[in-house]
């Protein structure tokens, strides 16, 4: 294990299997409709998952990214979520799938859902790789959910602590004495 990591929560193998499962679920869901699918990744955390996930969605699609700020370099979520970089694409009348690395309090997802609903997409669904259900403050319905994890600070597979650890190929628990 990388130094600073005390435990592996999701192994590399489990990561691969989870992404395959989600890709199959998403393919089955949108494949039954005449979808105009735009997959939106929330930067920076979702970039690794997003790259793997779109290759497991066996349908025509487009991608875009958005950057929201909520955490800074700390580990506690503020309810104050801001748009740092907006989409480059119009979403009106399209089928939108938002991709997130982790849903913790739900503040980020609930804000982005409200904001994008106002732009009149045809449909809006959400997918997250990790879910921390015990930390929820805002109630958000997750349509495609990877792995539920306990209330630990997770890093790897795109998730960071102070911008580090994003390149780990697994999800690990950070040594809490480092927080």
Rule CB under 6 A: say whether 106 interacts with ligand IMP: yes
Q: What is the dihedral of CA 88, 93, 95, 97, to 10 degrees?
A: 40
Whether the bond between 35 and the residue before it is cis, its omega within 30 degrees of 0, is: no
Q: Which stretch binds ligand IMP (CB under 6 A): 8-16, 47-55, 117-125, 154-162?
A: 154-162
Q: Which of 104, 139, 160, 175 is catalytic?
A: 104
Which string of x and - marks every residue 134-153 that binds ligand IMP (by CB under 6 A)? -------------------x
Rule CB under 5 A: say whether 45 interacts with Mg ion: yes
Provide the CA 173 distance to its chain's centre, in angstroms.
18
Tokens of 172: 């690990």
Residue 30 interacting partner from Mg ion, ligand IMP, none (CB closer than 5 to 8 Å by kind): none
Cα angle 169-66-158, degrees, rounded to a multiple of 5 = 10
DSSP code, position 72: T
Q: Which stretch binds Mg ion (CB under 5 A): 43-51, 85-93, 131-139, 149-157?
A: 43-51
Active site residue 52: no
Interface contacts to ligand IMP, rule CB under 6 A: 45, 70-71, 77, 100-109, 153-155, 159
Catalytic positions are: 104
């Amino acid at each position: 294990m990388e130094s600073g990591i005390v435990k592996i929560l999701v192994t590399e193998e489990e990561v691969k299997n989870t992404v395959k499962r989600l890709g199959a679920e998403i393919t089955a869901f949108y494949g039954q409709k005449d979808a105009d699918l735009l997959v939106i990744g929330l930067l920076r955390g979702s970039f690794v998952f997003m790259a793997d996930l779109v290759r497991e969605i066996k349908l025509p699609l487009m991608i875009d990214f958005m950057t929201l700020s909520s955490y800074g370099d700390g580990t506690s979520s503020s309810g104050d979520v801001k748009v740092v970089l907006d989409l480059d694409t119009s979403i009106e009348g399209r089928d939108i799938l938002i991709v997130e690395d982790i849903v913790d309090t739900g503040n980020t997802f609930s804000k982005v859902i409200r904001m994008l609903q106002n732009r009149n997409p045809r449909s809006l669904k959400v997918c997250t790789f990790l879910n921390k259900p015990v930390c929820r403050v805002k109630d958000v319905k997750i349509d495609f959910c990877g792995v539920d994890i306990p209330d630990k600070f997770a890093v790897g597979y795109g998730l960071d602590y102070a911008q580090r650890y994003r390149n780990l190929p697994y999800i690990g628990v950070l040594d809490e004495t480092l927080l």
